[in-house]
């Protein structure tokens, strides 16, 4: 039987709130067994960009990354946020090791091909280096990934954190029984975005298609669920979407996904 | 017989010059056998601090680090510079992994005790985690350390890069035959700072004392040499101080240190 591996992706809204982040990291550190954390951090990057006079550009919910903005996200994601998270996890006796995709060549990507929109230095993942991540995990290290990858040709690339979580989860299914948890500010996938209790508790491929048809799942939730079904199709055992307390409190409601 | 381990520390002046950095990283990647890179990066941090309206404060050649400036150096050292260096080394087929001292709890430090001057979030190293660094090295990974450590209590600390190189070198002498190379913009320790050819080719404890007495070694060179003799006293086999080409070109002149 494969060892269980829990992969948690935490969104920018939790990271931007020190108290919520501390609470989350305490919980994360307490997860038993092998684990990986993937974090976003959009808001802080926009703040720094504004401070140095850059205007962040968004297209279809994704950041357009010119060279100056790539430097900003590299500083904020791989530097400030990643190292603060790692230091805090170390305090809670979780032996965290912060990584970008360039580190140990752990995630190779390519610059997104320009069709209608040029997203600049945005990376689409080609390959997750499962053996090096396995090596770290099996030596009691907890990888903490930020949303930066590289092209193995010297170029860093800004990459969607949800996608990174989904790709890492998919890449490790050969070695582990992978559970993937997406934590964000809502309690799960909602029927009505304005009603935080309208959680859709179970979604499978069939109901997903219907929810899309009825436009109940739309906007930012669409790429998140696409990532989920990509991971399920690649052998990820279980996916949960919910608020951060979902990682320790099993009784609350959340969204559970299967094929 | 112990395996050879080459530890190279590269200073901010090389990092600030893209062409010089590329040349250095190409050379570094070509070093055979186990290796570690330690980098500084002061100038870029000062630039970012100025851009966001902070005034860098220096005391006795060391940065005084308040919380805002700690964020800046964490962004620049652990984020921008570390990841750019790692991505570039990956391009040259050197399997680099970027680390702060918080990552894998590799370097534990404490906030410098206030005597006359409060250096703020400046870290003095307590302990190098030799076993985790050995693990990485023995799995063909090349650690790239930036000048940030942590106190294992959630606090990141700004730490002198020369000291980090010296502490890592000292910490690994039980496992490896360690050669430590300090690269900077000069050709070695100079008799006359204005004459780049006045290289002192050999320094030992005795001649070092005399050079200090005569004030030939002073200012910024003093702490560098203190770090060197600390490492030699801890079993480091060989220390070289020179310009970046010293790591591949053995015929030029440089400063060689022994006890």
A53 chain-B contacts, CB cut-off 8 A: 51
pTM attached to this predicted model: 0.97
Residue A35, token pair as written in the block: 């684990």
Q: What is the pLDDT of residue B130?
A: 98
3-state helix, strand, coil in chain A (%, to 5): 40, 25, 35
For A76, phi then psi, to 5°, come to: -80, -50
Query: Which chain B residue has its CA at the smallest distance from A88's CA?
Result: B154
Q: Is B86 within 8 Å of A103 when comparing Cβ atoms?
A: yes
CA distances from residue A211 to A183, A227, A232 in whole angstroms, order as listed: 21, 16, 18
- Cβ atoms of B128 and B106 within 8 Å: the answer is yes
Strands (E), chain B: 3-10, 34-39, 57-59, 62-64, 96-99, 107-111, 123-128, 142-145, 148-150, 156-158, 176-183, 202-203, 238-242, 255-257
Band of residue A220 on the pLDDT scale cut at 50, 70, 90: confident
CA distances from residue B97 to A104, A167, B242 in whole angstroms, order as listed: 5, 20, 25
Rounded Cα distance between A213 and A118, Å, is 29
Q: What is the pLDDT of residue A81?
A: 97
Rounded Cα distance between A218 and A212, Å, is 7
- Cβ atoms of B128 and B107 within 8 Å: the answer is yes
Q: What is the pLDDT of residue A144?
A: 98
For B175-226, the pLDDT digits (tens) are 999 999 999 989 999 999 899 999 999 999 999 999 999 999 988 899 999 9
- Cβ atoms of B12 and B24 within 8 Å: the answer is no
Strand order in the sheet with A176-183: A96-99, A142-145, A34-39, A3-10, A176-183, A238-242, A255-257, A202-203
For A64-76, the pLDDT digits (tens) are 899 999 999 999 9
Q: Is A78 within 8 Å of B74 when comparing Cβ atoms?
A: no
A148 chain-B contacts, CB cut-off 8 A: 83
Query: Which chain A residue has its CA at the smallest distance from B91's CA?
Result: A153
Q: What is the pLDDT of residue B62?
A: 67
For B56-92, the pLDDT digits (tens) are 677 776 668 999 999 999 999 999 999 999 999 999 9
For B50, phi then psi, to 5°, come to: -65, -40
Rounded Cα distance between A182 and A246, Å, is 9
The pLDDT mean for chain B works out to 94
Q: What is the pLDDT of residue B59?
A: 78
Strands (E), A16-173: 34-39, 57-59, 62-64, 96-99, 107-111, 123-128, 142-145, 148-150, 156-158
Which chain B residues have any C-beta within 8 angstroms of a chain A C-beta? 48, 51-53, 71, 74-80, 82-84, 86-88, 90-91, 95-100, 102-105, 132, 135, 139, 141, 148, 150, 152-156
Band of residue A57 on the pLDDT scale cut at 50, 70, 90: confident
Query: Which chain B residue has its CA at the smallest distance from A101's CA?
Result: B87
Q: Is B80 within 8 Å of A74 when comparing Cβ atoms?
A: yes
**Domain B3-257: assigned CATH number:** 3.40.1160.10
Residue ranges of domains in chain B = 3-257
Band of residue A42 on the pLDDT scale cut at 50, 70, 90: low
Distance from CA of B176 to the nearest CA of A (A): 21
> Smallest Cβ distance to B148: which of A75, A83, A139?
A83
Q: What is the pLDDT of residue A250?
A: 63
Ranges A40-44, A239-243, B77-81: which has the least confidence: A40-44
Q: Give the ipTM.
A: 0.96
Rounded Cα distance between B235 and B223, Å, is 19
A132 chain-B contacts, CB cut-off 8 A: 139, 141
């Amino acid at each position: 039987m494969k060892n269980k591996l829990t992969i948690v992706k935490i969104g920018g809204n939790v990271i931007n709130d020190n108290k919520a982040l501390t609470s989350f990291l305490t919980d994360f550190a307490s997860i038993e067994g092998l684990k990986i954390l993937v974090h976003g951090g959009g808001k802080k990057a926009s703040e720094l960009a504004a401070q140095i006079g850059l205007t962040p550009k968004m297209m279809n919910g994704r950041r357009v990354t010119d060279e100056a903005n790539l430097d900003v996200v590299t500083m904020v994601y791989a530097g400030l946020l990643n190292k603060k998270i790692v230091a805090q996890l170390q305090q809670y006796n979780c032996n965290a090791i912060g990584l970008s995709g360039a580190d140990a060549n752990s995630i190779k990507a390519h610059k997104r091909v320009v069709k209608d929109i040029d997203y600049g230095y945005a990376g689409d993942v080609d390959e997750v280096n499962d053996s090096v991540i396995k090596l770290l995990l099996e030596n009691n290290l907890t990888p903490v990934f930020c949303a930066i990858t590289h092209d193995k040709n010297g170029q860093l690339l800004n990459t969607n954190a949800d996608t990174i979580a989904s790709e890492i989860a998919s890449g490790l299914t050969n070695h582990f029984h992978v559970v993937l948890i997406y934590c964000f500010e809502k309690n799960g996938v909602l029927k009505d975005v304005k009603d935080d209790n309208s959680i859709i508790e179970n979604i499978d491929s069939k109901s997903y298609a219907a929810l899309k048809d009825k436009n109940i799942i739309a906007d930012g939730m669409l790429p998140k669920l696409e990532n989920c079904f990509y991971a399920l199709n690649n052998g990820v055992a279980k996916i949960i979407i919910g608020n951060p307390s979902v990682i320790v409190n099993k009784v609350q409601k959340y969204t559970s996904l299967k094929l």
